[in-house]
Amino acid sequence: MLYVLSKITRKYGSRTVLDIPLMEIEKGKIYALLGPNGAGKTTLLNILGFLEVPTTGDILYRSKTVNFSESSLQNLRREVVMIDQHPILFTGTVYKNVEFGLKIRRISQKKRGIIIEETLDLVGMSAFVQAQAHRLSGGETQRVALARALAVSPEVLLCDEPTSNLDVENQTAIINTLKQINEQRKTTIMFTTHYMYQVSSLAHHTFFLDHCKLTATQAESFKLCR
């Protein structure tokens, strides 16, 4: 297993927002995370992305117990990338946005150019390479955010409502890209969505969260969301 979460809780004061006795995530699979607003989906993604520390419990990642010290988490964050529902691009061109993570990783300028070209082509945004990021539409912004994440070749990609409020063209482009990187790169993906057709067409497995708990098997989750 890539992840094993054991007795994980997350509390804010006296309020419990996540309570998961056991959760296992297999490497190279696509997972849909379903549930009503406020169920704890984003909190769970943040914990899986090592952006938030659970209040109690243990996480095994690559069969090793996660040390929640900041230095250890920084290293893990290089392997796990999260795309927010409303991603924020940096000031400047699309090229500069996709280049950001590569520069941090000290990838050579020549290799950066090759990776950026390939990644923008993958998400169908090659024509926008020198466009100003702040002038992009919502769908274009989401696709550039996806390219920025994929450029650093993450082991795990966490997507919080990646196609929310997008037109059909951009939804299709993003879903097709997620399928492609999973098939070709074996990237492990977890995404939240309210679109059931995306679950049936994209996900290998489904989790359902309700009132901070995993409450259903894959088959049951489809019934609960109807």
Q: What is the DSSP letter of 93?
A: B
What's the pTM? 0.93
SS3 content of the chain, % helix, strand, coil (to 5): 40, 25, 35
| pLDDT over threshold 70, residue 216 | no
- Length reported for the chain: 226
Place of tokens 């929310």: 164
3-state SS assignment for residue 22: strand
Separation between Cα atoms, residue 69 and residue 66, nearest integer Å: 9
Tens digit of each residue's pLDDT (9 = 90 or more) over 130-178: 999 999 999 999 999 999 999 999 999 999 999 998 999 999 999 999 9
Tens digit of each residue's pLDDT (9 = 90 or more) over 61-76: 999 999 999 999 999 9
Residue 99 CA: distances (Å) to CA of 42, 115, 118, 122, 157: 26, 9, 12, 15, 18
Tens digit of each residue's pLDDT (9 = 90 or more) over 105-139: 999 999 999 999 999 999 999 999 999 999 999 99
The residues, any chain, with a CB within 8 Å of residue 28's CB and separated by 6 or more, are: 182, 186, 187, 188
> Cα 84 from chain centroid?
8
| pLDDT over threshold 50, residue 220 | no
- For residue 111, the surrounding DSSP H or E stretch is helix 109-122
Q: Using CA of residue 34, residue 176, residue 149, residue 28, what is the dihedral sign?
A: positive
Tens digit of each residue's pLDDT (9 = 90 or more) over 181-203: 999 999 999 999 988 889 999 99
Separation between Cα atoms, residue 77 and residue 91, nearest integer Å: 23
How high is the pLDDT of residue 197? 87
CATH fold of 3-88+154-225, please? Rossmann fold (3.40.50)
Q: What is the DSSP letter of 1?
A: -
> In degrees, to the nearest 5, what angle opens at C-alpha 88 toward C-alphas 86 and 94?
120
The residues, any chain, with a CB within 8 Å of residue 23's CB and separated by 6 or more, are: 3, 4, 5, 8, 207, 214
Which regions of the chain does DSSP assign to beta strands (E)? 3-12, 15-25, 30-34, 56-61, 64-65, 80-83, 156-160, 188-192, 205-210, 213-216
Please state the domain extents for the chain: 3-88+154-225
